[in-house]
Amino acid sequence: MPTTKRTTLSRRQALTAAGLSAAAMGFAGVASAQSKAPSVQEKANMKVIDDFLVAFNARDAAGVAAYLAPGARFAAARPGKFTQLSDPKTSFDGFISRTKSISMKVKPGTTRAVGPMITHERVDTMVMQDGSNLGSGTWFGVFSVVDGKIHEFIDFQID
């Protein structure tokens, strides 16, 4: 009769294995959710963000403001360097007036929609009136869109 060799696991090994299994199942769920076609509402929310960027690229401060909900909030910085979310209309009006040109291009295949949350990765190329490139770089944007308006907009600079 064959003998069975017992292997004992420490509590740490068991918890690590359980944690890794849970993480794998979570990642599989996220991948599955992202592979689904966006709902009608999610498509409408993505269009709001697309149109918002068109207004930004046109340096149209009034057009940009039209996509913002009353009381909307905004922050942009490198991860871990954020200040409190602030009024975007004031920030955007001042920033747009100091630019010569704005080019915000979403990287193909990076836009995701989950209910009211829209994310994307984009490359911003800014030329300021003084010739500097303040605000240029690669950004990961996170937006909340409710009733066709942007309520929160957070940009993480990733390079």
Q: Are 138 and 106 within one domain?
A: yes
Sites in the chain below the pLDDT cut of 50: 14-15, 30
Q: Tell me, what's the pLDDT at 25?
A: 57
Domain span holding position 34: 9-38
User: Does residue 67 sit within a domain?
Assistant: yes
Q: Are 20 and 61 within one domain?
A: no
CATH number at residue 153: 3.10.450.50
Q: Are 51 and 23 within one domain?
A: no
Q: Tell me, what's the pLDDT at 105?
A: 97
For the segment 65-110, what is each residue's pLDDT rounded down to a tens digit? 999 999 999 998 888 887 777 888 888 999 999 999 999 999 999 9
How many domains does the chain contain in total? 2
For residue 139 the two structure tokens come to 């950004």
Nearest C-alpha neighbor of 146 from the set 50, 76, 58, 67: 67
**112: Cβ–Cβ under 8 A, 6 or more apart, which residues?**
34, 118, 119, 120
Question: What count of other Cβ atoms lies within 10 Å of the Cβ of residue 17?
Answer: 11
Full-model pTM:
0.75
